Chains A and B, each alone.
Chain A
Amino acid sequence: MKTIPVVENVLKLNDEVALLNRRQFTQAGVFVVDLIGAPGSGKTALLEATLKALAGRCRTGVIVGDPATSRDGERLGRYCEQVVQVNTGHGCHLDANQVRQAMGRLNVTDLDLLFIENVGNLICPVGFDLGQNAKVGLFSVSEGDDKAAKHPHLVLTADVLLLNKIDLLAYVSFSRDRFMEDIRHLRADAEVIELAASKGLIKAWIDWLLPRCRTR
């Protein structure tokens, strides 16, 4: 019997494909955002508002992952031409290989900004590198103020955190102070942007995005 010491990231194979994706995105000059949030947090509504706000300013595309249906892809297809819907079946997240397959259906050299709307889930998608430039964590006030504390992996690894549906603050039990305290406990320097996507209140988010991508 022989023991072979290894110490290798379990997701090394996914990371290798993610590296290929990242190289291709870099060559194409497209900025890629992996959007991670719970079901119902408003990921698709945020992308609808974002694509609308960016129309004419940069060329956008979306890869959208859902276990089933093409409903989100159809919603987003009203605002940009390049949309690919990935159905993951029982899969609870997108992986780098699925994104690579979706890239084959896109003309990434014609894009300035590509959103990857991950499957609604705050746990599984976080560990899988897709080749993105920025990982964005989306929370909403209707989910409760404890979600950041319960999902430290996302808080610790996201480039920016978004808090959506702040227009509902008066109607739900949500302590902004508690939410922020939990985030600051894990990451004193975390950037948090508040939004109300369905009301079009996303200016701070657009201001975060635009300097990062090529504009017309």
Chain B
Amino acid sequence: MHEMSLAVDLMELVKRYVPPSAYLMTVTVRIGPMHGVVAEALQWAWSAVRGQSAWPQAKLVIETPPWRLSCPRCGRLWEPATVDEHCTCGSVHADIEGGDEFALVSVEVADSDESVENQPRPEVVGHCGLATVV
């Protein structure tokens, strides 16, 4: 369950980018499959973490780029279903070209005078039998 640790660290990092008078609306991250992060679990963890922050409605958008491999023998670049997929040329080696990303991509903020009340209410998020209303 490293998603909770990630959500806590993500919030601490995001705080550095939100101007003092602004309201955090949306955080976008890009996490490749190499990191084994379960998007649903990270959303659940984020909903818990944001509830303890000054921005309890801040949304998390998770971009999940696919694995991308290149073949050192024939130069083919492809997106395999799983990372152990071999190249069609028969080479047993592959180089990782994508899927290892782990980045905070952007932070969307609103001026404090923009109405936060007009934002839609967050949905109820459930995970592993737990339900959290934020």
Contact = CB atoms under 8 A, between A and B. Distances in A.
Interface of A: 1-14, 90-93, 95, 123-124, 126-128, 149, 151-153, 156, 181-182, 184-186, 188
B108 A10 contact: no
Interface of B: 1-2, 5-6, 9-10, 12-13, 17, 22, 25, 29, 31, 34-36, 72, 83-84, 86, 92-94, 96, 100, 102-111, 114
Given A127-B35, A153-B35, A188-B93, A6 B108 contact: no
Contacts of B83: 149, 152, 186
Given A6-B107, A95-B5, 9 more contacts: A1-B109, A4-B108, A4-B109, A8-B103, A8-B104, A152-B84, A153-B36, A186-B84, A188-B72
A39 to B, nearest CB: 15
Given A1-B110, A10-B13, A127 B104 contact: no
A1 B5 CA distance: 29
8 contacts: A1-B108, A6-B103, A10-B10, A91-B5, A149-B84, A151-B36, A152-B34, A186-B83
Contacts of B92: 181, 184-185
A91 B5 CA distance: 8
A6 B106 contact: yes
A123 B2 contact: yes
A8 B17 CA distance: 11
B99 to A, nearest CB: 9
A5 B110 contact: no
A161 to B, nearest CB: 16
- The residue in A1, A10, A127, A152 that gathers the most chain B C-beta atoms within 10 A of its C-beta is A10
B127 to A, nearest CB: 14
Contacts of A124: 1-2, 5, 36
What DSSP secondary structure best describes chain A's contact surface? mixed
A186 B94 contact: yes
Contacts of A126: 36
B9 A13 contact: yes
Contact of A153 (B22, B34, B111): B34
Contact of B102 (A91, A92, A127, A184): A127
Top 10 A-B pairs, shortest CB-CB distance: A124-B2, A123-B36, A149-B84, A4-B107, A8-B104, A3-B108, A188-B93, A152-B83, A153-B34, A6-B104
A108 B4 CA distance: 31
Contacts of B2: 92-93, 123-124, 127-128
A151 B83 CA distance: 10
Contacts of A3: 106-108
Contacts of A156: 34, 96, 100
A4 B29 contact: no
A2 B108 contact: yes
B11 to A, nearest CB: 10
B104 A7 contact: yes
Nearest to A3: B108
